[in-house]
Amino acid sequence: MGTERPEERTSRRDLEWWRNAVVYEVYPRSFADGNGDGIGDLAGLRSRLPYLRDLRVDAVWITPWYSSPQADGGYDVADYRSIDPLFGDLAEAERLIAEAREHGIRTIVDIMPNHVSDRHPWFRAALAAGPGSAERERFWFREGRGPNGDDAPTDWESSFGGSTWTRTTNADGTPGQWYLHLFAPEQPDLNWQNDDVRREHEDVLRFWFDRGAAGVRIDSAGLPVKDPALPDMRGVSGYVPGTHPHLDRDELHDIYRAWRRVADAYDEPRVLVAEVWLAEADRFAAYLRPDEIHTAFNFDFMTAPWDADRLRRVIRETLDTHSAVGAPATWVLSNHDITRPVTRLGRANTAFSFDAKSFGTPTDETLGTRRARAAALLAAALPGVLYLYQGDELGLPEAELPREALTDPMHFRSGGVDPGRDGCRVPLPWTADGRAFGFSSAADDTTASGPHRVRHDTAAAPWLPQPDDWGGLSVAQQLREPHSMLLLHRDALRLRRSEPAFRDDAFRWLEAPSPSVLAFARGDDVICIVNFGTHDLALEQDADILLASAPIVGGVVPPDTTVWLRTACSTAFISTAPIGIPSDGAQPE
Ligand code: BGC
């Protein structure tokens, strides 16, 4: 507005921090262990806040830290108002949120509206109260079908494999009603037609917002509402959008509008971030309308293969879809559910799909690392919010763990076929050597701070085993190597913050000399070029190289490389002359 004073503009920009933030995902179990029990915790995380500050992240999203039996890594919450003793306590969570903010880092917590733990007091009460009770109305209890009710009420399949229904046992030992769980049996689904469920979640939001949480990540945000008729899916090949029995139902939007009102009631409005997996772009964008959710994870980008055409299309569609509703795009390369980029991009099939995961897939980690570096700079150059999953800044590969070490219900419920998600959740290496590579001790490590230190020799083994060679990937080691993955990320995030071109949404595709090259401009003078091809790419003129994922020698961008350039001349920047410079290093004629 023309009448706005500069300080008002500044403050509005600050309130809209979430539009171009760098959000670092912390999986607390595996980030840093402050008490030496082999499991990451809040003390460990607090001691590593300086590391996150130096990386220049704007926010952390912390996956569930609440009291939980941990049947699904904490995504089975027994009590949202207390912290699991594995991680610390509520007072420490409050301290963490405040300390992080002192380092300029906001905190986003995780909320799971689809389900709770089977140990949640509501579910215990529902089991005890029996059929027809108000307590059971908060969940989906149904009689079984077939003789004696022995068949599940619907034919739905769980995302973790198997049926979505588990039968209860009555007090007298006879088989009872069934209850619905889209995930594991330990995660009973809530009934969002029930007012208690709505009220309770709004209270939980306020509980954490009052404690300084800057926002919430909404787990499985497309799933909570069910068709009360609970129809079978057998034989139905497609649905009129909004009518699927349990995905993306129209009624969800009212829930999130109510959440938005809760978030907007704070002086610094809180932020909603959704995990919605949806194929239809317009249905996805509907969640991001101005009175609903602020941002949502871009899974199209995350799952796309390493291919210029596909990524060009995904980026174009993402930007179009989001600008239609005025929401910022997000750029996500992985998370705690997904194969690590270094591994995924080093395989024959570089796309991600849960169905395609299998043990022993051949992987070229050198190639994967090269591409992961290029992908990191591509993602960081795009307009919107950047998500970074812990350990990706170190280039950790997906660990191939011994079967006996696996803990993920996805593995067990697949009958042992799916390796599950433990491989991307292995505790981080902080030091080049020492027990657990410094995961359970900050004692010898200049990157840590605070009083939460245990001695190497007394710390328990980490909850998942780390590969023997992970010392080379540790933070301490990478801080010593000028071209390490960690320092590449630090440089990228520093430039993202300092370069005016990255501050707004200005984005322009540039004509690329080959279909296997992506080129775009940010602002007036920054260009990002990604060479997906198998040949070197010649730059037309010497430009100021801001950052590159691999060495640029003589103006040549090698295969699987991203470069950020500064140049005022942003059109036709790349040579359209034959760019097929053989990658053996021969020079063009
Ligand atoms: C989370 C998973 C979790 C599932 C059930 C997801 O989308 O990211 O880690 O297993 O929701 O809560």
pLDDT digits (tens, 9 = 90+) for 526-542: 999 999 999 999 987 66
DSSP tag of 104: T
Give yes or no for residue 112 CB within 6 A of ligand 1.
yes
Ramachandran area for residue 231 (φ above 0: left; ψ -120 to 50: alpha; else beta): beta
Q: What was the pLDDT predicted at 448?
A: 55
Q: What was the pLDDT predicted at 259?
A: 98
- Region 81-90: what's the mean pLDDT? 98
DSSP tag of 553: B
pLDDT digits (tens, 9 = 90+) for 389-402: 999 999 999 999 99
84-88, 325-329, 585-589: least confident range = 585-589
Q: What was the pLDDT predicted at 567?
A: 85
Q: Which atom of ligand 1 is nearest to the CA of 112?
A: 12
Tell me if residue 252 falls in helix, strand or coil: helix
104 near 53, Cβ under 8 Å?
yes
CA pair distance 326, 320, nearest whole angstrom: 10
Tell whether the model's pLDDT for residue 585 goes beyond 50. Answer: no
> 27 alpha carbon to ligand 1 midpoint, in Å?
12
Tell whether the model's pLDDT for residue 587 goes beyond 50. Answer: no
Give yes or no for residue 532 CB within 6 A of ligand 1.
no
CA end-to-end distance (rounded Å), the chain: 55
Look up residue 140 and give its amino acid: W
The whole-angstrom distance between residue 305's C-alpha and the CA centroid of its chain comes to 18
Q: Binning pLDDT at 50, 70 and 90, where does residue 13 land?
A: confident
> 442 alpha carbon to ligand 1 midpoint, in Å?
30
Residue-averaged pLDDT of the chain: 92
Active site residues per annotation: 219, 268
Tell whether the model's pLDDT for residue 576 goes beyond 90. Answer: no
* pTM, 2 dp: 0.94
Considering only CA atoms, give the Rg of the chain: 25
Q: What was the pLDDT predicted at 238?
A: 83
Q: What was the pLDDT predicted at 457?
A: 56
The residue length of the chain stands at 589
Q: What backbone torsions phi and psi does residue 389 show, to the nearest 5 degrees?
A: -90, 135
- Region 5-27: what's the mean pLDDT? 81
pLDDT digits (tens, 9 = 90+) for 184-243: 999 999 999 999 999 999 999 999 999 999 999 999 999 999 999 999 998 777 888 888
CA atoms within 13 A on the CB side of 426: 27
> 394 alpha carbon to ligand 1 midpoint, in Å?
24
Q: Which of 253, 251, 336 is nearest to 292 (CA)?
A: 253
Tell whether the model's pLDDT for residue 267 goes beyond 70. Answer: yes
How does strand 271-274 pair with strand 215-218?
parallel
Q: Binning pLDDT at 50, 70 and 90, where does residue 509 land?
A: very high
477 near 489, Cβ under 8 Å?
no
Q: Which two tokens stand for residue 468?
A: 């023997």
pLDDT digits (tens, 9 = 90+) for 409-447: 999 999 999 999 999 999 999 999 999 999 997 544 444
Tell whether the model's pLDDT for residue 507 goes beyond 70. Answer: yes
Q: Which atom of ligand 1 is nearest to the CA of 275?
A: 7
Q: Which two tokens stand for residue 525?
A: 């003078």
Please identify which residue in the block is written with the tokens 């300092």.
498
Q: 218-231 burial by CB neighbour count: b if 16+ within 10 A, else e?
A: bbbbbbbbbeeeee
Give yes or no for residue 183 CB within 6 A of ligand 1.
yes
HEC profile of 424-479: HCCCCCCCCCCHHHHCCCCCCCCCCCCCCCCCHHHCCCCCCCCCHHHHHHCHHHHH
Q: Which two tokens stand for residue 405?
A: 């070490």
pLDDT digits (tens, 9 = 90+) for 288-324: 999 999 999 999 999 999 999 999 999 999 999 999 9
Q: Which atom of ligand 1 is nearest to the CA of 410?
A: 10
CA pair distance 350, 344, nearest whole angstrom: 5
* Contacts of 261 by beta carbon, 8 Å cutoff, 6+ apart: none
Residue with CA at minimum distance from ligand 1 atom 3: 75
Give the sign of the dihedral formed by CA 486, CA 490, CA 491, CA 495.
positive
Tell whether the model's pLDDT for residue 582 goes beyond 80. Answer: no
Q: 327-357 burial by CB neighbour count: b if 16+ within 10 A, else e?
A: bbbbbbbbbbbbbbbbbbbbbeebebebeeb
CA pair distance 284, 298, nearest whole angstrom: 10
Give yes or no for residue 189 CB within 6 A of ligand 1.
no
CA pair distance 341, 373, nearest whole angstrom: 9
How does strand 106-111 pair with strand 59-62?
parallel
Residue with CA at minimum distance from ligand 1 atom 7: 220
Tell me if residue 368 falls in helix, strand or coil: helix
Q: Which two tokens stand for residue 556?
A: 């040549």
Alpha carbon distances (Å) from 410 to 52, 115, 279, 417, 499: 30, 16, 22, 9, 42
